Structure 1
Amino acid sequence: MVEDAPVDGIKGDHCLNFLLLAQFYPIQTPKGSKRKDFPPSQAYAVPMTTIAPVQELKAQRLRLLRELERKVLWLSAWTIHNANHLRPNRDGLKVGGHQASCASLATVMTALYFSVLKPEDRVAVKPHASPVFHAIQYLFGHQTQEKLEHFRGLGGAQSYPSRTKDVDDVDFSTGSVGLGVAMTLFSSLVQDYVRLKELGDGKRPTGRMVALVGDAELDEGNIFEALLEGWKHDVRNLWWVIDYNRQSLDGVVNDRLFGRIGEMFELVGWRVVTLKYGMLLEAAFTQPDGEHLRQWIDDCPNSLYSALVFKGGAGWREALTRDLNQYPGIRRILDQHDDEALHRLMTNLAGNDMQAVLDAFEGVEGDQPTCFIAYTIKGQGLPFAGHKDNHSGLMTLDQMAGFKKGMAIADGLEWDKFAGLKATPAELQQFLAEAPFNAEGRRRTEAPVVAIPAALPKPNDKESSTQAGFGKILNAIAAEDSELSKRIVTTSPDVTVSTNLGAWVNRRGLWAHTEAEDVFRELKVVSAQLWRKTPRGQHIELGIAENNLFIQLAAMGLSHQLFGARLLPIGTLYDPFIARGLDALNYACYQDARFMIVATPSGVTLSPEGGAHQSIHTPLIGIGQPGLLSYEPAYVDELAVLMRHGLQYMQLDKGGSVYLRLSTRSLPQPQRTLTPGQESDIVAGGYWYAPPEPGSDVAIVAMGAVTPEAIAAHENVARDFVGAGLLVLTSPDRLHADWLSAQRNRGRTAGLVDRSAAPVERLLAPLSRDARLVTVLDGHPLALSWLGSVRGQRVVPLGIEAFGQSGDIPDLYRAYKLDAAAIVDAVARSIA
């Protein structure tokens, strides 16, 4: 079990050594050390009489933390058990949960939340330890029994911590393993960005960004991409606590790989703290021949150690007798311990030893990023501890009955906060109320909305691409001394210049902790780009890793709730490479982070680059991704309207993030002054470039860079089909969402609903019911072919369904049926 071994379970000299340990302070961390193991058995020779008051308080804290550790383990296990065995199961599916994964982190999380963490700290919880987190929040009073009873049910505590769906104080949503870990790193950079610019209230202390990491999570490549980026940007105030329980979903973690983990962290400038052995084992190592026991455990393969944990005391005795019986001191240790005590000794790893955990956390000073490697046992204190199949294992009814008895929980008191504990409810409640982490109650911050001007500056070029227009709009904002210009922060994965952010960076600078001049400028080497690094800079330059981009955007897009300072993040990348970071993009949106993605160039319109750099299905990503509103403007004046709307939308309570799919194709710009009604139509998703005659049977629907081909085709078609219309869409995503919303409303009780038409219904209303729609875009045709469902009109969709290739625009548009001739032919076929 989690509770400490009673002294009467240890015999002879072992008991004497154990008692001697309690007479001294635990070892302290030397300042400036790069790596340190924390063996609690080492001590300063300071008599207890000189430090009695302090030590008494420490002993009191340790006692209460061990009590709460038991309760956290119980509540997490019971929550899962209730969901799987006691709550009615209507569909026959296993509800799941991870009792073993919870048990391995119960000690660490108890120590952190009830003693170590402060209100300004932010934590990403290991996904499979979600029930432990919910149990801790329940003890704090931030979670309810009802939601624990409905764990993994509708409206209950979530399977994995969720910022948007859980009622308790979740800092970072986790679930897709590895991403929450990286999120803490990029959040640390954002915290420093806000602090150095004094964008917050100026009173907020600098917090630690803490990730609780499953050892198998380290197989995720995005973690190492983030580590490199953190090293480049001198990341600080970052703790990663690795739950080294040596087991993954399907088996046991490879010893060979994990032996290098500490070295990898040290290579990128981290301090590594290893918590390996608890107090009982450290005491045993001081006995005669104890060094051989330490060496045996050090050399023991993960798979063998885990198997012996499951077998228990008899298994340990057999293995140690077989391998170490030649040493008298080992025989003596075996004689001193019965099977139960021997099992307790051999499973006394530091990550499950409260004193060792506290020593490690409290021994670290300074802001150097720190990796704690906490040796733990998966399922510690549970009947299937150590078994390689225990990852998703659940205690049976009989096993739970035995566990419940061992925890001294009476029937009917399973959800009681303090049942079965030796400490009184009053002292436990007082201890919880005084926990530093909980000192300010809810810790989610707020920040005022940044005012957006009535119009953004619009370039007046007669011919331009939307990508070039984006750069000029942002450059004009950069030239202003406004709150908007101060709050925008840009980032890009090594494509800053090629996505037209260069002018912004020249004006606003690269962000870094310390000043660094552009060497080319200092040496008077002519360059269009000024790469001056400064704490005042407003662009964070990333390496080529799209996962890092989206997690960085997620961290910046939550700054108002994490650090009390609102940022307006804009990230740029090549449109086809959204797919490379799609998991991280989904993760960012799931947290309701607010940012703007400018993806450019897009489609086969990027003709010379070939198929690997040409995007096909990204419009479908824009439509399908929750929390992300996508647009694809054809012209720069549309882009200016949409950027303004996006900067506002990012700050709305019911808003979200924005995706702009842009092009490098330079188009003749319409010489027009948009009316408020036209601007509203652009934001709503589309407008009639050439309105149809009422009852027209033909319309061409176009989007983005292929609009000139649609215009040319329309001029041809209009000669044969008088009154044919040309509809230019800016957002099939917005149109589709509003249409579905209107459809759902119409299914409700009459008289209580808004029966007004959706924007797409109003757009298509002038056409006859039998009208033919020829849709065309530089992307997958499915993005527009749904329009036929709105009024039952026939659609002939044109778009890209195969990988692109190198060529110029005329050749590729002709080859992929995007040119004017293909559009005219599609109209003819639709009428036939």
Structure 2
Amino acid sequence: ADSPEMRYMAERRAAMGGSVPARRRKGNELTIPPLSAFENMLVSTGEREISTTMAFVRILSTLVRDKQIGKYVVPIVPDEARTFGMEGMFRQLGIYASQGQLYEPMDSDQVMYYKESKDGQILEEGINEAGSFSSWMAAATSYSVTGVQMIPFYIFYSMFGFQRIGDLAWAAGDSRARGFLLGATAGRTTLNGEGLQHEDGHSHLMSATIPNCISYDPTFAYELAVIIQEGLRRMVQNQEDVYYYITLMNENYTHPEMPKGAEEGILKGIYNFSKSKAKGEKVQLMGSGVILREVIAAAELLEKDWNISADVWSVTSFNELRRDGLDAERWNMLNPEKPQRVSYVAQAMKGAQGPTIASTDYMKSFAEQIAGFVPGKFVALGTDGYGRSDSREALRSFFEVDRYYVVVATLKALADEGKLPASKVSEAIKKYKLDANKPNPTTV
């Protein structure tokens, strides 16, 4: 028992935390930056157009420079770092390689060349989603294994996330992983030209199956900043056992300033983006991700062409709204004699008039998750079917989620309620040159 071998093994076991494996519930305490640290994301981009992927890279750059948590941040990519605009981090952080740089990169003559080092901070795993996710899960559970919190950000093509490694995503929830998954080029119509291999219209429905996975589909940079800062607060500062899935897009457009007081709604899942001052029939329009911009355009058409007053709602998380609604229903069932709770979406839309039309870049069942909690008639437009190679405009028309289909769906809902003649719907179909006899997108 006192041999050198036994003493060595005892020392090694003690260094690893003792003889009996134990799971730590808390790691080291860390202080996260305030929302004001992302001030450049909360203001308007003016005339400059950026994508939410570019906004994320700026947020990540801010985090890796933070003196409190920067060294604990672990950026992870399979092989698309340049696609996601992350090459600027090669020189800044370096790509981890256990033996350092063993070759001269082909891009060595560029300022942002492919730099590998033994102390690199980026994990670039090659075209290996299962390996990349396993690295993410190791960092996301580091707090329980080593007592040291890591903050992993794994960014990937969203189609190659839950669909490919769904069992690992479930295991991450079961393992109480904490970290961020970023599904880039998300949505069925945002990555034009890639066809059905890349076009994701269902990852949020998959993430919804994991109880402690918090999912968001933001449209604007300020929404993304608020969501990531809150994720840091919950997972790093408060050390809650949840992880975040956030979808990002590669479509460039201008981003407005954050509306005053929007933070709570962004995190809960819905907030009012604009109210119409038109005097006609009232309707409520919902959108998320890139399709919110089509919804905003549809509201303008409804007012200009049809004298319809359309309020616009940004829905950052249909998943979280559904969970909130179900939680309220459960409490009400078990507490029938106490004051009944109201879902957040019903609270937010209290007093809203007219039917609600929701359009997203995902299957109709994505938005339909909240149909039972929205007052009045609810109509969902979505991208059911396989992806196709075409322009964004053509794809959104094909899947019937663009501004013109939102207008037609709105007029039809009003006609169903007897507030407009059905002939107005036919007039709109003709005006916007829509083919009423085109095949159902799910059959093509």
Tell me the secondary structure at the aligned position of residue 407 of structure 2: helix
Tell me the secondary structure at the aligned position of residue 135 of structure 2: helix
Indicate the residue corresponding to 2:112 in structure 1.
Answer: 529
Tell me the secondary structure at the aligned position of residue 767 of structure 1: coil
Instruction: Give the alignment partner of residue 24 of structure 2, picking from 438, 444, 447.
Output: 444
Instruction: Give the alignment partner of residue 633 of structure 1, picking from 190, 196, 218.
Output: 218
Tell me the secondary structure at the aligned position of residue 608 of structure 1: coil
Alignment RMSD, CA only?
A: 3.0
Tell me the secondary structure at the aligned position of residue 388 of structure 2: coil
Partner amino acid, structure 2, of 1:703: S
Higher-Rg structure is 1
Tell me the secondary structure at the aligned position of residue 469 of structure 1: helix
Cα offset for 1:696? 7.0
Is 1:205 the equivalent of 2:11? no
Cα offset for 1:783? 0.8
Query: Separation in 2 of the partners of 1:118 and 1:660?
Result: 44
Query: Separation in 2 of the partners of 1:117 and 1:789?
Result: 60
Q: Is the 8 A contact 2:180 2:243 kept in 1?
A: yes
Indicate the residue corresponding to 1:570 in structure 2.
Answer: 153
Q: Is the 8 A contact 1:518 1:531 kept in 2?
A: no
Is 1:683 the equivalent of 2:267? yes
Is 1:733 the equivalent of 2:315? no
Tell me the secondary structure at the aligned position of residue 624 of structure 1: coil
Indicate the residue corresponding to 1:475 in structure 2.
Answer: 61
Indicate the residue corresponding to 2:292 in structure 1.
Answer: 707
Partner amino acid, structure 1, of 2:183: A
Indicate the residue corresponding to 1:657 in structure 2.
Answer: 243
Partner amino acid, structure 2, of 1:667: Y
Query: Separation in 2 of the partners of 1:565 and 1:120?
Result: 19
Q: Cα deviations across residues 350-377 of structure 1 (Å, max 9, x unaligned)?
A: xxxxxxxxxxxxxxxxxxxxxxxxxxxx
Instruction: Give the alignment partner of residue 465 of structure 1, picking from 37, 46, 51.
Output: 51
Indicate the residue corresponding to 2:379 in structure 1.
Answer: 796
Indicate the residue corresponding to 1:498 in structure 2.
Answer: 83
Cα offset for 1:545? 1.8
Indicate the residue corresponding to 2:344 in structure 1.
Answer: 759
Partner amino acid, structure 2, of 1:490: P
Partner amino acid, structure 2, of 1:793: G
Tell me the secondary structure at the aligned position of residue 395 of structure 2: helix
Query: Separation in 1 of the partners of 2:34 and 2:339?
Result: 29
Which has the higher mean CA deviation after the structures are superposed, 702-711 or 757-766? 757-766
Partner amino acid, structure 2, of 1:764: M
Tell me the secondary structure at the aligned position of residue 560 of structure 1: helix
Indicate the residue corresponding to 1:820 in structure 2.
Answer: 403
* Structure 1 pair 650–501 and aligned structure 2 pair: CA distance change class (3 A): farther
Is 1:513 the equivalent of 2:93? no
Query: Separation in 1 of the partners of 2:218 and 2:10?
Result: 46
Cα offset for 1:443? 5.6
Tell me the secondary structure at the aligned position of residue 570 of structure 1: strand
Q: Is the 8 A contact 2:283 2:308 kept in 1?
A: no
Indicate the residue corresponding to 1:538 in structure 2.
Answer: 121
Query: Separation in 2 of the partners of 1:534 and 1:595?
Result: 24
Partner amino acid, structure 1, of 2:296: I
Tell me the secondary structure at the aligned position of residue 515 of structure 1: coil
Partner amino acid, structure 2, of 1:613: H
Q: Cα deviations across residues 736-762 of structure 1 (Å, max 9, x unaligned)?
A: 1111111111123367x6745332111
Q: Is the 8 A contact 1:610 1:805 kept in 2?
A: yes
Query: Separation in 2 of the partners of 1:634 and 1:556?
Result: 28
* Structure 1 pair 116–689 and aligned structure 2 pair: CA distance change class (3 A): same
Q: Cα deviations across residues 510-567 of structure 1 (Å, max 9, x unaligned)?
A: 123343277248xx84225333223332111112121122222111111111011111
Is 1:556 the equivalent of 2:139? yes
Cα offset for 1:491? 1.0
Which has the higher mean CA deviation after the structures are superposed, 757-766 or 631-640? 757-766
* Structure 1 pair 712–483 and aligned structure 2 pair: CA distance change class (3 A): same
Partner amino acid, structure 1, of 2:170: N
* Structure 1 pair 635–54 and aligned structure 2 pair: CA distance change class (3 A): closer
Q: How many aligned residue pairs are there?
A: 403
Instruction: Give the alignment partner of residue 303 of structure 2, picking from 718, 723, 736.
Output: 718
* Structure 1 pair 656–481 and aligned structure 2 pair: CA distance change class (3 A): closer
Indicate the residue corresponding to 1:745 in structure 2.
Answer: 331
Partner amino acid, structure 1, of 2:404: A
Tell me the secondary structure at the aligned position of residue 747 of structure 1: helix
Q: Is the 8 A contact 2:153 2:181 kept in 1?
A: yes
Indicate the residue corresponding to 1:594 in structure 2.
Answer: 178
Cα offset for 1:599? 0.9
* Structure 1 pair 710–681 and aligned structure 2 pair: CA distance change class (3 A): same
Query: Separation in 2 of the partners of 1:739 and 1:528?
Result: 51
Partner amino acid, structure 1, of 2:15: P
* Structure 1 pair 119–674 and aligned structure 2 pair: CA distance change class (3 A): farther
Which has the higher mean CA deviation after the structures are superposed, 553-562 or 649-658? 649-658
What is the TM-score with the length of structure 1 in the denominator? 0.45
Indicate the residue corresponding to 2:165 in structure 1.
Answer: 581
Higher RCO by CA contacts (8 Å cutoff, separation 6 or greater): 2
Query: Separation in 2 of the partners of 1:742 and 1:688?
Result: 22
Tell me the secondary structure at the aligned position of residue 642 of structure 1: helix
* Structure 1 pair 816–120 and aligned structure 2 pair: CA distance change class (3 A): farther
**Pairing 1:248-287 to 2, within 5 Å after superposition:** none
* Structure 1 pair 760–695 and aligned structure 2 pair: CA distance change class (3 A): farther
* Structure 1 pair 692–119 and aligned structure 2 pair: CA distance change class (3 A): farther
Query: Separation in 1 of the partners of 2:218 and 2:25?
Result: 35
Query: Separation in 1 of the partners of 2:179 and 2:11?
Result: 26
Cα offset for 1:764? 2.2
Cα offset for 1:465? 0.7
Q: Is the 8 A contact 2:299 2:312 kept in 1?
A: yes
Q: Cα deviations across residues 743-797 of structure 1 (Å, max 9, x unaligned)?
A: 111123367x6745332111222224xx311111111111112332114522221
Partner amino acid, structure 1, of 2:58: K
Partner amino acid, structure 1, of 2:349: L
Tell me the secondary structure at the aligned position of residue 787 of structure 1: helix
Query: Separation in 2 of the partners of 1:754 and 1:518?
Result: 69
* Structure 1 pair 494–525 and aligned structure 2 pair: CA distance change class (3 A): closer
Query: Separation in 2 of the partners of 1:559 and 1:754?
Result: 43
**Pairing 1:33-182 to 2, within 5 Å after superposition:** none
Indicate the residue corresponding to 2:366 in structure 1.
Answer: 783
Cα offset for 1:666? 0.8
Query: Separation in 2 of the partners of 1:589 and 1:117?
Result: 33
Tell me the secondary structure at the aligned position of residue 827 of structure 1: helix
**Pairing 1:315-326 to 2, within 5 Å after superposition:** none
* Structure 1 pair 468–653 and aligned structure 2 pair: CA distance change class (3 A): closer
Cα offset for 1:596? 0.3
Q: Which runs of 5+ in 2 are unaligned?
A: 416-444
Query: Separation in 1 of the partners of 2:413 and 2:10?
Result: 67
Q: Is the 8 A contact 1:713 1:820 kept in 2?
A: yes
Q: Is the 8 A contact 1:494 1:541 kept in 2?
A: yes
* Structure 1 pair 732–562 and aligned structure 2 pair: CA distance change class (3 A): same
Identity %: 23
* Structure 1 pair 443–673 and aligned structure 2 pair: CA distance change class (3 A): closer
Query: Separation in 2 of the partners of 1:505 and 1:118?
Result: 41
Instruction: Give the alignment partner of residue 72 of structure 2, picking from 474, 487, 511.
Output: 487
Cα offset for 1:597? 0.4
Cα offset for 1:509? 1.2
* Structure 1 pair 451–518 and aligned structure 2 pair: CA distance change class (3 A): farther
What is the TM-score with the length of structure 2 in the denominator? 0.82
Indicate the residue corresponding to 2:355 in structure 1.
Answer: 772
Q: Is the 8 A contact 1:777 1:799 kept in 2?
A: yes
Q: Is the 8 A contact 1:692 1:767 kept in 2?
A: no
